[in-house]
Amino acid sequence: MARVTEDEVRAALTSVLEPQSGKSIIALDMVEGLVVKDGNVGFALEVPAERGAALEPVRQAAEETVKALAGVLSVTAVMTAHKPAGSGAPAAKPAAAAAPKEKAGTDDIPGIGSIVAVASGKGGVGKSTTSVNIALALAGLGKRVALLDADIYGPSAPRLLGLSGKPETDGKKLWPKEAFGIKAMSIGLLIEEDQPMVWRGPMVQSALEQMLRQVEWGEIDVMIIDMPPGTGDAQLTLTQRAPLAGAVIVSTPQDLSLIDARKGLNMFRKVDVPILGIIENMSYFICPHCNERTDVFSHGGARDEATKLDVPFLGEIPLDIRIRETSDGGHPIVVAEPESSFAQSYREIAQAILDSVADNQRQAPKIVIQ
């Protein structure tokens, strides 16, 4: 039987309509990273973060439509939430305007060892999924771990770790939530969900400060901060509020987000935060039926780019439905399937981050400007 072609897949997908506009998902340019190989089809649907749940039927319809084509063995459509990012984001301007000029908030926080920021050039690349799985992997390596979810545009820690309810407080201090052996706090637990975006920018500054300094974290070896996506002023200000040991950038192999990743690197360089390295997410795809490995998008792009930019490459995570299902179901893969190769990859990346932090601390004595 002749195997399906990319053109046939695209032609079929023109019949799948996005309900709000009535236009096809092809016309709206929602289909990204289409891979067709030996009858196995994979692609991503880029959707606005807030419409992710509402558009799930569209993702399913897209999968079903392609599955019905002759010569198709398997179809995986992944929804990626494209959130407002960078300086064009609505909240970025007020946040920047509210930012103090001096380098505030960079004193060490008692009890907290190293703080590592996880950033990305844009939304939907898997930054939050990666942050949570790395935090859990670090705990698996015996570290006392905190996860601070500062992703104002779409806080995901509550969903990924199954957290809910306002944090306990005595009026002065807040207590972190606990899940799977790590402590966690999310801006999503502090800010009302229906809070208009325009208010969020200024609020994120004080919320981050509060999450860093008013939460009873106890003794923590490593804190992971899930940053808002993007490289605009709001993000830059955030990096100045926390005494960071370093930053990692999550990127898909696609060229576009690599350009964004480069912007992310520059943002951290501007404020003298060491770059611990780049992680390539949705790096390749293993067909669940035939176990054959398929390179998604332009696999290896992040590794090449890391070499070019002279920053460490920390590892790659494949595009796999189990990573999505376990994360979105509140049991990230590192704890849901600790024996899996995916969990192993996250543990290797976690170890690479620890090594990189230790290296940086050895090489770079802290310069104190009086």
Compute CA distances 212 → 11, 119, 143, 217, whole Å: 50, 17, 19, 9
Per CB under 6 A, the segment of 73-81, 86-94, 180-188, 300-308 that binds ligand ADP is: 73-81
For the chain, where are the alpha helices, taking DSSP H only?
Answer: 6-13, 56-67, 92-98, 127-140, 157-161, 187-190, 197-213, 233-241, 255-270, 301-309, 321-328, 333-336, 341-363
Residue among 131 and 144 whose Cβ is closer to ligand ADP = 131
What counts of helices (H) and strands (E) characterise the chain? 13, 12
User: Any contact of residue 42 with ligand ADP (CB under 6 A)?
Assistant: no
DSSP letters of 37-84? ETTEEEEEEEEEGGGTTTTHHHHHHHHHHHHTSTT--EEEEEEEEE--
Is residue 320 a contact point for ligand ADP (CB under 6 A)? yes
Of 114, 156, 205, 251, which lies in the binding site for ligand ADP, with binding defined by CB under 6 A? Answer: 156
Residue from the set 150, 161, 223, 282 that interacts with ligand ADP by CB under 6 A: 282
* CB of 329 closer than 8 Å to CB of 292: no
Q: Please give the residues from 161 up to 220 whose contact with ligand ADP meets the rule CB under 6 A.
A: none
Smaller CB distance to ligand ADP: residue 88 or 100?
Answer: 88
Q: Which of 324, 336, 345, 354 binds ligand ADP (CB under 6 A)?
A: 324
> In the complex, which residue's CB is closest to ligand ADP?
126
Q: Using CA of residue 136, residue 141, residue 142, residue 147, what is the dihedral sign?
A: negative
**Rule CB under 6 A: which of 216-235 touch ligand ADP?**
229
Among 239, 327, 345, 356, contact with ligand ADP (rule: CB under 6 A): 327
Six-digit token string for 176: 């972190």
Question: Residues in contact with ligand ADP, total (CB under 6 A)?
Answer: 24
Which residue in 41, 72, 75, 81 binds ligand ADP (CB under 6 A)?
Answer: 81
Contacting ligand ADP (CB under 6 A), which of 117, 125, 276, 334? 125
Residue among 82 and 183 whose Cβ is closer to ligand ADP: 82
Q: Which of 246, 201, 223 is nearest to 89 (CA)?
A: 201
Query: Which lies closer to ligand ADP via its Cβ, residue 129 or residue 239?
Result: 129
Establish if 140 lies at the interface with ligand ADP (CB under 6 A): no
Report the alpha-carbon angle 156-122-155, nearest 5: 15
Least distance in Å: CB of 108 to ligand ADP?
27
Amino acid at 191: I
User: Environment class of residue 146 by beta-carbon count within 10 Å: exposed (0-12), middle (13-18) or buried (19+)?
Assistant: buried
Q: Does 281 bind ligand ADP (CB under 6 A)?
A: yes
The one among 127, 200, 262, 299 contacting ligand ADP by CB under 6 A: 127
Site for ligand ADP contains 80 (CB under 6 A): yes
The burial class, CB within 10 Å (0-12 / 13-18 / 19+), for 248 is buried
Considering the complex, what minimum distance in angstroms separates the CB of residue 338 from ligand ADP? 17
Q: Which of 33, 84, 121, 124 binds ligand ADP (CB under 6 A)?
A: 124
Minimum gap (Å) between residue 341 Cβ and ligand ADP: 12
138, 183, 196, 186: which is closest to 159 by C-alpha? 186
Cα–Cα distance, 52 to 68 (Å, whole number):
24
Binding of residue 86 to ligand ADP (CB under 6 A): no
From the list 72-80, 142-150, 231-239, 357-365, the region that binds ligand ADP by CB under 6 A is 72-80
Residue 102, classified by CB atoms within 10 Å of its CB into exposed (0-12), middle (13-18) or buried (19+), is exposed
Residue 217 vs 342, nearer CB to ligand ADP? 342
Q: Which residues bind ligand ADP (CB under 6 A)?
A: 78-81, 83, 120, 123-129, 156, 229, 281-282, 317, 319-320, 323-324, 327-328
